[in-house]
Amino acid sequence: MEGARLDVALAELLPQSSDVFKGASRSQIQKLIEAGGVLIAGQPAKKNLALASGEVVEVVMSAWQELNTDRAAVIPPGSELADVRVVFEDDHLVALSKPAGLTTHPVAGMSEPTLVDYLKASSFRLAETDDALKPGIVHRLDKGTSGLLLVAKDTPTHAALQRTFERRQALKYYLALAIGGEMPETGVVDEPLERNPRHRELYTVGAKGRLALTYYRVIGAHPVVKLVLLRIVTGRTHQIRVHLQSRGQAIVGDDDYGRGMNVELTSFLEGARDKSYRSAWSEALPEAAVRKRLLDAIGRCPGFFLHSYALYLKHPATGEQMELRAEPPEYFADALKALRLPPPPVDPRVLLPPEAKP
């Protein structure tokens, strides 16, 4: 079928090749292609690609199976999915507070519940997107991150919100509880990010990477951990985690980018020898009861102590200014109380203004 559009050709050929594709429509094939489930020369193909003679087309069966799975059925009947909370909702969008430990959207071959599954099971209306596995999703949070996330209910809203994020017109504030040495009270991390060559699922700073810009302010200091308010201008994968690591910090609970420091902290709280510089942890936390409270708070976190705290942007339909905030999870607040660190500011723009240049 030389010269034919890829989606047209597959809609004709796949139902003839296997009963798995029996009755498959062109629309379903297009969604498969959009989800990266069709490869040419090992790379995801475009649905309007004109086929050339001799090209080998590969179909990723796990992607097809995922698209035809009733994701709502992934959630056990009668269960509520891990404290998903609606922060704001209207006819165009919904702002949710995602719990740590919950993946934003499914990928091919995934069996565990995701936020998208919760939305479908709860009968939320979700915008159709270019990627059929990410209906309504405007931006994502790492599985281990908690907090604010926007979901569009219709295609125009989804497109408008994506433009807002792409043009960096949304103010995005995060809270992190970090272990590490001293760092300046305020600062900016302007370090490009690229994939870690040794661990391709992780990232590292590198001159050949993509632009990544983070402003921060330490708003609560303790010899054991510090509470950091961050504003990200870009939104790269693992950006805050890598940028803090580049400054000698590890987010509490983040073993991917700070396993050593996290193991030492947990061991100390459990009663092992203090390995901190000049035994600073023992001096700062002499009371066993306080150590137990902190250990308990850390143990209740199903991810790590990074929280999407506040979003400021214009409503895509009305143009009105939106000010969204999601309070940190209970275990996060309990950790702050155990260390007598201050609660996060009601308006983070006061402590870390948009125009601030450290």
Considering the candidates 7, 142, 154, 256, report the single residue annotated as catalytic.
142
What is the tally of helices (H) and strands (E) in the chain? 10, 15
Residues of the chain with CATH 3.30.2350.10: 71-166, 171-338
Cα separation, 213 vs 203, in Å, equals: 15
Is the distance from CB of 327 to CB of 336 less than 8 angstroms? Answer: no
Give Rg (Cα) of the chain.
23
Domain with CATH 3.10.290 in the chain: 6-67
The residue written with tokens 């990544």 in the block is 212
Residue 235 identity: G
> What's the mean per-residue pLDDT of the chain?
90
In whole angstroms, what is the distance from residue 138 CA to residue 127 CA? 10
Is residue 334 annotated as part of the catalytic site, yes or no?
Answer: no
pLDDT at 42: 80
Has this prediction a pTM greater than 0.85? no
Q: Which of 61-65, 74-78, 161-165, 221-225 has the lowest mean pLDDT?
A: 74-78
Task: Specify the CATH superfamily of domain 171-338.
Answer: Pseudouridine synthase (3.30.2350.10)
For the stretch 111-122, pLDDT in tens is: 788 898 888 888
Percent of residues, the chain, with pLDDT higher than 70: 93
CB 60 within 8 A of CB 66: no
In the CATH hierarchy, which fold is given to the domain comprising 71-166? Pseudouridine synthase (3.30.2350)
Look at residue 216 and tell me whether its pLDDT is greater than 60. yes
pLDDT at 76: 57
Residue ranges in the chain assigned as alpha helix (H): 6-17, 26-34, 61-67, 115-121, 155-166, 239-246, 255-269, 280-284, 288-299, 330-338
Q: Which residues contact 171 (CB under 8 A, 6 or more apart)?
A: 231, 310, 311, 312, 313, 349, 354
Residue type, 108: A
At the second CATH level, the architecture of 6-67 is Roll (3.10)
Which of 6-20, 133-147, 211-225, 296-310 has the lowest average pLDDT? Answer: 6-20
Q: How confident is the model at residue 79 (pLDDT cuts 50, 70, 90)?
A: low
Contact 276, 268 (CB under 8 A): yes
pLDDT bucket at 60, cuts 50 / 70 / 90: confident
